[in-house]
Structure formats: C-alpha cells, structure tokens
Amino acid sequence: MIPCKWKQLWDKEVALDWTVVTSNAPLFVSATLNTVAIAAATIVLSVFIAFPLAIMRDSRFGFLRWVSAGYSWTTRAMPTLSLLFLAYYGLPQFGIYLDPVVAAITGLTVIAAGYNMEYIRVGLQAVPAGQYEACRALGIPLSIALRRLIVPQAMRTILPPLTSNLTLLLKGSALASLVAVTELSGQAMALISYTYKPIEILIAVALIYLCLNGVLVGVQRLVEQRYRLQD
C-alpha cells in the first residue's frame, strides 16, 4: 500500500504561514527577473541560430542539408535536461568551463533552435515559389532577397507556432535551476530547504509562473490576431 498517513490528512489543520513568502519577496523578485532574463536571452539567441539552420535545411548542398537535419533530429530527441548537463558538466571534459547561467542559456538555446528551425523552415517554404524566382530573375542577391522580401512574408506563418513555443521555453527555464542557477525554481528549492514551508513557497512560485505564462499567452493571442489570414 502507498505509505501515507490518511488519518493525518483528514485531521490535520494545515496552518499556512505566508510570512515566508512576504519576508522573502525581494528574493522572489530577483529570481523572477533571472527567469525572465534567461527566457528572453534563449528566445532571441535561438531565433538567431535557427534562421541560418532553416536556410541550410533546404540548401543546394547536401552536406548543409544533412547537418541541419541532424541538428533538428538530435535536439528534438534529447531531453532538455541532458543538454543542460552537457553544457555544464560535460564541457569541462574538453576544458570549457561555463558559468552556470551561460551554460543554462546555451543548453536551452540549442534545444529551442532545433524547434524554431522547423517553424522557420515551414514559414520560408510557405512563401510562394514565385517570389524566390522573381528575386533570382531580377538578380537580387539571396541575402537581400531574404531580409527585405521573403522573411517579412514568412513571418505570418512563422510567428504563431513560434510564440506558442514560448510556454515551452518558460517551462524549460525552470530546469536551469538544476544546473545551479538562482532562478525561480532554484530559489524556491533553496528557500524550502531552510524554511521548511514547501506549501506556501510552491503555491507562490506556481502563481508567479502562471502569471508569466499568462503574459506569454497574451502575446501569442496578439500575434495570432495580427497575423491571421484576412479572408
């Protein structure tokens, strides 16, 4: 049988002591800012990496296609946690010692780029082939063509799935706490370990995460509304 104290569950009055949360509010605030910073850095960097990869994916050169396809498959087959561990515990084998925050952002970015690369690729493919042909016919170099003509059109297809991925990024940032980063989850674990009030702290942290998630969902709705196909 599951070892639990049923009688205690019914009889016990759980006295919640919210001063643990209020007196440690500055810690929560700074930890939340860390989480937001990590998530923001991950989003920006991953899109930077994902764009070249997406272009490579449909390139003329088989080697580039192979590399980026391998990247996509690998980063989507590995657990996020293992990549974080690779960045923080694995790289020292090769003499690269990363700061925990840098390692966390690196690991999360690599994974996020794998997913974002697929969204960008779909978006670029959704732009009618005639646009690419016209650019070539007019002699516009690929780099300028992409930046000025193709990508603005591709944004409509790219942005909805990209923004819905934001929630996954936020959930991934919580894993950074397992590589010694003082972000929200890590701060929660530390506070629980010396105040022994897990219920209050975890409820507070859960509410903060839900608020952050709410903001992201709001962003996602805005983007979907803006880029919805006008009938």
Partner 1 sequence: MDVFIAQFPRFLDATWLTIWMFVLVTTVSTLIGATLAVLAEWAGKPVSLPLSVYSWVFRGLPELIVLLGCYLALPAIGLDLGSVGSAILGFTLVGIAFQLEIFRAGLNAVDKRILEATRALGMSWWLTMRRVVLPQVIRIAMPAWATFLAGNVKIFAVASAVAVTEVMAVTRQAIAVSDQPFFLIMVAAGIYAAIASILMVLEAILSRRFSTRYGLGLRR
Q: Residue numbers of the site for partner 1 (CB under 8 A)?
A: 2-6, 8-9, 12, 14, 74, 76-83, 85-86, 89-94, 167, 170-175, 177-178, 185, 188-189, 192, 197-199, 202, 205-206, 209-210, 213-214
- Measured from the CB atom, the residue of 55 and 111 that comes closer to partner 1 is 111
- Measured from the CB atom, the residue of 64 and 91 that comes closer to partner 1 is 91
Residue with tokens 């994916």: 57
What the block records as the tokens of 108 is 């999360």
Q: How far is the CB of 109 from partner 1 (least distance, A)?
A: 17
Q: How far is the CB of 189 from partner 1 (least distance, A)?
A: 7
Q: CB atoms < 10 A from the CB of 170, how many?
A: 21
Q: How far is the CB of 137 from partner 1 (least distance, A)?
A: 40
DSSP string, 29-87: HHHHHHHHHHHHHHHHHHHHHHHHHHHHHT-S-HHHHHHHHHHHHHHHHS-HHHHHHII
- Measured from the CB atom, the residue of 138 and 210 that comes closer to partner 1 is 210
Kindly list the distances between the CA atom of residue 127 and the CA atoms of 74, 88, 123, 218, in Å, as whole numbers in the listed order: 27, 39, 7, 27
- Measured from the CB atom, the residue of 125 and 164 that comes closer to partner 1 is 164
DSSP for residue 95: T
- Measured from the CB atom, the residue of 55 and 212 that comes closer to partner 1 is 212
Taking CA 13 as the corner, what is the angle to CA 203 and CA 23, rounded to the nearest 5 degrees? 40
